[in-house]
Amino acid sequence: MISEPELTGGPDEGGAEVISDADRGPGRGRGGAGRRPWVWGVGGVLLASAVWAGGLRVWTAQHGGPPDLHGYVLGDSPCAGSTLRPLTSALHAQYSTAVTPAAARLGPALDQIRCSLAVGAPDGSGGTDSFDVFVTIDLHKRTDPRAEFEDQAQVDGSDLTPVKSVRKVTGLGDEAVAQTLSRLSEELKVLHGGAVFTLTLTGYSTDFVSDDTLGALHGGPKHVSSDVGRFEPALVEAMRNVMKGQQSSGS
C-alpha cells in the first residue's frame, strides 16, 4: 500500500519564533520575572496553533477535503481467481481466460486498474456463445467523483452515445446503476465515496467457425443467442466480490 504524504503546512504557514535569554534584557534571567517572556512565548505558540487550526478548518470547509475511499486500495487483479465466479457460473462457462497482467496505474490523485476476462459458453443450439467481461476501478484520492458519476449515468462510455435504458440498483455502495448499452452489452457502475467500479458484459457468438475465419472476421458483426440483460443479477453478485477484493484488511 502506498501511504499519502503527511500534511505539514496550512494556510499562511510561518516559521516558529525562538525566544532566547538574550532577548529578555537586563534583569530578566532565569529567576523571578525573567520567566514571564518565556510563558508569554508558550502562550503565543498555543494561540498561533489555535488560529492555524481554525484557519485550516475554514480552508478545508471551503475547498472540500479528499473523498472517503472506505478502505479501498488496488490489490490483485479483479479478473483473477474466483472474483467473477457468480457471473461465469450464470453464463455456464466452459472456459474463462483472464487477460493478465491487469493494467494498473498509481497516481497522486487517481489510482486505476483495468482487466478483462474471455468466457466461452454453450448457446443451447450446438453453437458457442463467447463473452468479454471488463472490470475498471478508479480510486479518486483528491476530488469527489459523484458529479461526474451522475453526469455519465446514462451514457455509454465507449462511444458517448445514450444508453438504451438505465436502472438504479440498491445495496451497492453509495449509488449504483445498471445500464443496457445494447442487446449485446450490459454494464453495472457503482460509486462508493471516492471509488468508482464498472463491470461490463459483452457477448457474441462464434457458431463453430474456424480460427482462421474468426481472424478474417475480426471486428465484424457479432451476435449472441439472446439478450445479455438477463445476467444483471449475476453482475451484481460479481460486483460485490470485486469491491470486497479491493478493500484493505480491517476495513
Residues 108-135, mean pLDDT to the nearest whole number: 91
pLDDT score of 250: 47
The whole-chain average pLDDT of the chain stands at 76
Cβ neighbours of residue 118 closer than 8 Å, sequence gap 6 or more: 96, 97, 99, 130, 131, 132, 133
Instruction: Report which of residues 250 and 189 the model is more confident about.
Output: 189
Higher pLDDT, 127 or 70: 70
Parallel, antiparallel or unpaired: strands 175-182 and 165-168: antiparallel
The answer to whether 133 and 119 are in contact (CB under 8 A) is yes
**Residue 114 predicted with pLDDT over 70:** yes
CB 72 within 8 A of CB 93: no
Which pLDDT score, from 0 to 100, does residue 41 have?
A: 46
Q: What is the pLDDT of residues 14-46, one digit of tens each?
A: 444 333 344 444 444 444 444 444 343 444 444
**Among 184, 193, 89, which Cα is nearest to 138's?**
193
Question: Does the structure show a pLDDT above 70 at 119?
Answer: yes
Q: How far apart are CA 71 and CA 56, in angstroms?
A: 25
Task: Label residue 128 exposed, middle or buried (CB < 10 Å: 0-12, 13-18, 19+).
Answer: middle
CB neighbourhood size of 211 (10 A): 8
In eight-state DSSP terms, residue 228 is G
Tens of pLDDT along 133-149?
999 999 999 999 999 99
Q: Label residues 3-32 b or e (16+ Cβ within 10 Å = b).
A: eeeeeeeeeeeeeeeeeeeeebeeebeeee
Mean of the pLDDT values across residues 173-177? 97
Cell numbers placing 99: 487477460
